[in-house]
């Protein structure tokens, strides 16, 4: 793989990941007249839950559902410059023009209205966009395995680098796909957030993992993985190094965990064979998901990685894919119980989800 770092017209970093080492040098210059990025992110600690909430009002003006011929993630062409100055690319990562978190945010910790009740701090971090292919009409599910491996290597590269950035406590690569999920750019892409705190979900999972290890002396996800592989009822796909299964307490109408057979804290810790095997297993899962309702499945695919500075001995890397689609033309809404109390009610059982996904294989 060939890695090339360049900069856009407003100073943002852009990194090209090319599969061939002999790819022509990336020398195209971003000739656009862009104003400096003006992020004004702030985080506030909810005194009732102890959770950080980000305020990023500047994102209201971000690009919203442009037509295909104005897509900012396609390669540039004569008279139509985009976020990627080159005329083609394999995988590219660049700093988000409308970031939820930014290293350029100024200010100091304080409290709302100076009352000392609600702590505030600058929303310092980093947000990046990951384009998986230059093909606007493509999808992750249709990538060849070697391209998925390039994406994996890009995720690993960015996780390792962002983990060294001052103030970043957790690195979160993810993909949102489909308008039902809230996607505003249809080009196949994902994002990476460098959070200035450990997220509530990760905190809770680490607390659960610590308590389980104290009681049993083993990692909880390791025991869950072993049980799922032994029983097989909820297994969707399996490889030499990864198993994909519907979690036994699935919340979503479509939900799959992809778990490596070896406990590692994050993507950079995966070896070459594990990265190759992930590509094979994940593409099989995505193919089944798209055949489930005979239409492209809207989904969120989120990497659960260890925080940068804590819980690394407890965490077990895994990818969670889930969808709000419960039938071809019906959505799972987060209604009163889910949104108000955080108590999930699923319309299908995990066993039914797994059976349906296997049936379309």
| Residues 211 and 175 placed together within one structural domain of the fold | no
Q: Decide: helix, strand or coil at residue 84.
A: strand
Say what the pLDDT of residue 173 is.
Answer: 98
pLDDT of residue 59: 83
Total domains in the chain come to: 2
Q: Provide the pLDDT for residue 251.
A: 97
The angle subtended at Cα 176 by Cα 173 and Cα 182, nearest 5°, is 140
Q: Tell me: pLDDT of 60 over 80.
A: no
Q: Which of 351, 252, 258 is nearest to 297 (CA)?
A: 252
With CA atoms as reference, report the closest residue to 175 among 297, 327, 328. 297
**Does 261 participate in catalysis according to the annotation?**
no
Q: Quick one: 222 and 292 in the same domain?
A: yes
186-201: average pLDDT: 97
Q: Which pLDDT score, from 0 to 100, does residue 63 have?
A: 77
User: What global pTM score does this model have?
Assistant: 0.96
Q: Please tell me whether residues 171 and 261 are part of one structural domain.
A: no
Question: According to the model, what pLDDT value does residue 212 have?
Answer: 98
- The single residue of 186, 189, 241, 318 carrying the catalytic annotation is 189
What integer pLDDT is reported at residue 287 of this predicted model? 98
Task: Say yes or no: 233 and 331 in one domain.
Answer: yes
Burial track 173-205 (b if 16+ CB lie within 10 A, e otherwise): bbbbbbeebebebbbbbbbbbbbbbbbeebbeb
Q: Taking residues 97-102, what's their average pLDDT?
A: 95
Average of per-residue pLDDT across 230-247: 98
320 closest CA partner among 227, 224, 262, 254? 254
Q: Which of 197, 223, 248 is the last residue of a domain?
A: 197
Using 50, 70 and 90 to split pLDDT, how confident is the model at 62? confident
Q: With contact defined as beta carbons under 8 Å apart, do 188 and 131 qualify?
A: yes
Q: Is the pLDDT of residue 40 over 90?
A: no
Residues 30 and 162 in one domain: yes
The boundaries of the domain holding residue 265 are 201-359
Residue 74 marked in a binding site: yes
Q: Residue 38 pLDDT more than 90?
A: no
The answer to whether residues 123 and 13 belong to one domain is yes
CATH of the domain at 309: 3.30.428.10
Q: What is the mean pLDDT of residues 320-332?
A: 95
Average pLDDT over residues 184-193: 96
Distance between CA atoms of 318 and 300, rounded to whole angstroms? 14
187 is in an annotated binding site: yes
Q: Does 159 share its domain with 213? A: no
Is 336 found in the same domain as 354? yes
DSSP-assigned letter for residue 91: E
Examine the fold and report which residue of 148, 176, 197 is the final residue of a domain before the chain moves on: 197
With the CA atoms of 205, 318, 343 and 201 taken in that order, what torsion angle do they form, in degrees rounded to the nearest 10?
A: 40
Same domain for 189 and 272, yes or no, is no
- Over residues 106-142, the pLDDT tens digits come to 999 999 999 999 999 999 999 999 999 999 999 999 9
pLDDT above 80: residue 228: yes
**CB-based contact 197:307 (threshold 8 Å):** no
**Do 113 and 233 fall within a single domain?**
no
What integer is the mean pLDDT of 100-110? 94
Does 64 have pLDDT greater than 90?
Answer: no
Q: Is 241 annotated as a binding residue?
A: no
Helix (H, G, I), strand (E, B), or coil: what is residue 208? helix
- Residue 61 pLDDT exceeds 90: no
Claim to verify: residue 191 and residue 208 sit in the same structural domain? no
Residue-level pLDDT at 355:
97
Q: pLDDT digit string (tens) for 149-163?
A: 999 999 999 999 999
Please indicate, yes or no, whether residues 191 and 43 belong to a single structural domain of this protein: yes
- The last residue of a domain, from among 197, 223, 253: 197
Q: What is the pLDDT of residues 271-302, one digit of tens each?
A: 999 999 999 999 999 999 999 999 999 999 99
């Amino acid at each position: 793989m060939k890695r090339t770092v360049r900069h856009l017209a407003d100073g943002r970093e852009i990194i090209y990941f090319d599969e061939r080492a002999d790819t022509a040098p990336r020398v195209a210059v971003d000739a656009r007249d862009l104003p400096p990025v003006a992020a004004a992110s702030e985080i506030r600690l909810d005194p009732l839950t102890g959770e950080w909430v980000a305020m990023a009002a500047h994102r209201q003006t971000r690009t919203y559902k442009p037509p295909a011929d104005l897509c900012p993630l396609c390669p540039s062409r004569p008279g139509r410059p985009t976020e990627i100055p080159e005329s083609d690319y394999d995988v590219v990562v660049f700093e988000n023009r409308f970031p939820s978190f930014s290293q350029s945010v100024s200010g100091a910790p304080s409290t709302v209205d100076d009352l000392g009740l609600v702590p505030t701090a600058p929303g310092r971090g980093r947000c990046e966009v990951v384009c998986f292919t230059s093909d606007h009409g493509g999808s992750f599910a249709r990538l060849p395995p070697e391209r998925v491996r390039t994406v994996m290597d890009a995720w690993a590269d960015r996780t390792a680098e962002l983990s060294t950035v001052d103030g970043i406590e957790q690195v979160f690569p993810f993909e949102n796909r489909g308008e039902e999920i809230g996607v505003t750019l249809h080009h196949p892409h994902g994002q990476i957030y460098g959070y200035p705190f450990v997220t509530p979900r990760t905190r809770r999972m680490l607390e659960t993992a610590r308590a389980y290890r104290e009681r049993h002396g083993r990692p909880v996800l390791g025991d869950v993985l072993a049980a799922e592989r032994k029983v097989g009822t909820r297994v969707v796909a399996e490889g030499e190094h990864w198993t994909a299964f519907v979690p036994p307490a699935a919340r979503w109408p479509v939900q799959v965990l992809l778990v490596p057979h070896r406990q590692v804290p994050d993507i950079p810790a995966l070896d070459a064979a594990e990265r190759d095997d992930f590509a094979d297993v994940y593409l099989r899962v995505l193919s089944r998901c798209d055949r489930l309702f005979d239409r492209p499945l809207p989904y969120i695919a989120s990497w659960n990685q260890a925080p940068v500075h804590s819980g690394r001995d407890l965490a077990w890397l895994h990818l969670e894919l889930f969808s709000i689609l419960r039938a071809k033309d019906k959505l799972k809404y987060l209604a009163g119980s889910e949104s108000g109390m955080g108590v999930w009610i699923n319309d299908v059982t995990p066993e039914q989800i797994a059976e349906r996904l296997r049936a379309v294989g």
